[in-house]
Chains A and B, each alone.
Chain A
Amino acid sequence: MTEPTRDAFEQALDTREIRGRSLYVDAWHRLLKNKAAVVGLVVLAIMIVLVLVGPMLSQWDHEIPDWDHYSTPPSLETGHLFGTDAIGRDLFVRTMIGGQISLLVGLLATLVSLIIGVTYGAVAGYLGGRADNIMMRFVDAVYAMPFMFFVILLMVVFGRNIFLIFLAIGAINWLDMARIVRGQTLSLKNKDFVEAARACGATEAQVIRRHIIPNLLGVVIVYVTLTIPQVILVESFLSFLGLGVQEPLTSWGALVNEGAQELETAPWSLMFPAGFLAVTLFAFNFLGDGLRDALDPKDRL
């Protein structure tokens, strides 16, 4: 009675292809075991949903003032959950809109630096020799330029524009990315599997695309999660200086700037945006640390 079932079982074993666990799946499982990282991930998810959905749920608009309430504290009765600012705009909605802008700047500017930095760094590292030397000296030269001066110059020449902010921040951040990626590529290109790919007739471009870049991903993901909060901070700083997004749009940095001016009369207008900003930065950093540990378990020794 048992014989036929076992045969069937073995047959099933023979025909079923075993799905291997890739290194990324392994890393994902390790990440899920890291409490701080999971908390960071969940907080970020909630934050993104809140920031996107929040303004739709509120009866107020981020531009139009509520003529009956200037600088009122948070209250359920008036419907201004976070209170209003000096000209009567609802702070809850403005914090959410500010969050949208801040996260968008963080993501897009990082994306810009990611694309430029990874390509540049991988090419420089893979080619090596004189090409590498020239490319990296260029990076050093750009590094030496005063960043704030550069951004202010851009703003003055081209006017304040949100895309300019992505570009300006991305154009500075790719330098770090390029350096990290180059270093990683230098160690990868001497691995046997790169040589094997060349022996299999792959062109230089194919080697970079198929073998170098996929193997860089781990480092890059970690760096991205640590760059996003950095970029958000830079944008806040620019907004604080009055160089960031233009009214009536806002960002967390701009809100913190406004709130700081009314700190004595309306402390809530500083508290809420600053709190959201801080929680988001924490979450990103926890997630980044968790990812680093998960993707590179050997480095923890």
Chain B
Amino acid sequence: MRSPVLKVRDLHVHFRVDAGSFFRHDYHSIRAVDGVSFDVFPAETLGIVGESGCGKSTLARALLGLQRAKGGSIKWLGDEFVGASEEFLRKKRREIQIIFQDPAGSLDPRMTIGEIVAEPLKTFFPSMSRLQVRERVSGILQMVGLRGDQINRYPHEFSGGQCQRVGIARALVVNPRLVVCDEPVSALDVSIQAQIVNLLKDLQKKLQLSLIFIAHDLSVVRHVSDRVLVMYLGRVMEVADRASIYHAPRHPYTRALIESVPIPDPVRERARARRSLQGDMPSPLHPPSGCVFRTRCPFAIDRCAAEVPELEQLEDGNRVACHLHRELPPGPLPEVDQVNEEPSPT
């Protein structure tokens, strides 16, 4: 049995929202990440999917220590990150790197590509000579498919896909073991998406990287991931290997997500009985009682409002958080006429 490089247990990240008046100090807590647990193994890709606002990006930032966790544990190769000093986290960021969603926005417009990619080298390896830095930078730029002669250009002279390649180069230049990709392709054209995804996969194979690949649609995640974690409103709904997620999804939310993936064939797409989810995600300020998904779940019963479902370990190693996952009928989701009533804010 391989041992995981990253172990996340019961991670909580909360945000404060000011609710007090001028005279009274008070705040609400938003539970952006609420009790998330998972493992990442060496050289594997864990996909994380969920709608906008379900806490994916917060989770990514918390893994790097860019966002302080409220509780729980992040264990990276035996080192605990939650509660660690800023200095310690800063050193550890050499081993965990991140790729951002907005390709151009994540590059400093006043720096050349070469300077941007060299920056992590300068902070982590201050003893490297200028020539060494330069060689390393042009080597890594070639590895991500940019020409070495572009090293003195500025980000505004590149396309989105090229900027994302620079972002990848910056993440990989310090030889990390884990790269967190926070929706790396969401801002790109579909044709460019495929290039970037394939590039990441190639690099993963070459460098034996572990990847956490965050996305809001399943079709990209399906292409890259070994295992997939489905999040909803800050909680884990289901963790399963790729085959089970796509062919035997257990959680009603996973099933709804899969049904919402368009089929690139107009005839089949039109023929398909599509049941998209009704309504919007409830406000994370006032999450529903019990199972957070129950307000939009076509199968919800009374028990779902009363009891929070545990993330249950199944025989095949997958995990799911649903009271009814054994009883649910297979096949497409039933039509829902109306949205279950929203919980009243308390």
Contacts and interface: CB of A to CB of B under 8 A. Distances in A.
Interface of A: 14-23, 191-193, 195-203, 206, 210-211, 214-215, 217
A195 B66 contact: yes
- Max chain B Cβ within 10 angstroms of own Cβ: one of A192, A197, A199, A201: A199
Q: Which of A14, A193, A200 has the most CB of B within 10 A?
A: A200
Given A23-B156, A201-B120, A215 B106 contact: no
Contact of B149 (A16, A21, A202, A215): A16
A16 B148 CA distance: 10
B188 to A, nearest CB: 15
Q: Which 6 A-B pairs have the closest CB atoms?
A: A20-B153, A200-B120, A192-B106, A192-B105, A201-B123, A20-B154
Interface string B82-107: 00000000110110011011100111
Interface in B111-151: 111-113, 119-120, 123-124, 148-151
Nearest to A214: B110
A199 B66 contact: yes
Contacts of A206: 123
Contacts of A193: 105-109
Contacts of B151: 17
A52 B291 CA distance: 79
B64 interface: yes
SS class of chain B's interface: helix, strand, loop or mixed? loop
Interface in B239-286: none
B149 A197 contact: no
21 contacts: A15-B149, A17-B148, A18-B150, A20-B112, A21-B154, A21-B157, A22-B154, A23-B109, A192-B100, A192-B101, A192-B106, A193-B105, A193-B107, A195-B100, A198-B66, A199-B93, A199-B97, A200-B97, A200-B124, A202-B119, A203-B90
Nearest to A24: B110
Nearest to B107: A193
Contacts of B123: 200-202, 206
A22 B110 contact: yes
Interface size class, chain B? 35 or more
Interface string B40-82: 0000000000000000000001001010000000000000000
Nearest to B113: A20
A144 B107 CA distance: 40
Contacts of A22: 110, 112, 154
B170 A18 contact: no
Contacts of A14: 149
B152 A201 contact: no
A195 B170 CA distance: 13
Chain A contact residues: helix, strand, loop or mixed? helix
A15 B138 CA distance: 13
A19 B152 contact: yes
A177 to B, nearest CB: 20
Nearest to B149: A17
Contacts of B113: 20
Contact of A201 (B90, B100, B150, B156): B90
A195 B152 contact: no
A18 B119 contact: no
A21 to B, nearest CB: 7
Contacts of A16: 149
B59 to A, nearest CB: 14
Contacts of B153: 18, 20
Contacts of A192: 100-102, 105-106
Interface in B148-183: 148-154, 156-157, 167, 170, 174
B4 to A, nearest CB: 22
Q: Give the most central of B101, B107, B110, B151: most A CB within 10 Å.
A: B110
Nearest to A218: B110
Contact of A20 (B61, B100, B157, B174): B157
A181 to B, nearest CB: 16
A17 B107 contact: no
Given A195-B66, A210-B119, A214-B111, 15 more contacts: A16-B149, A17-B148, A17-B151, A19-B152, A20-B157, A21-B154, A21-B157, A22-B112, A23-B156, A192-B100, A193-B105, A196-B106, A196-B170, A200-B170, A202-B123
A200 B121 CA distance: 9
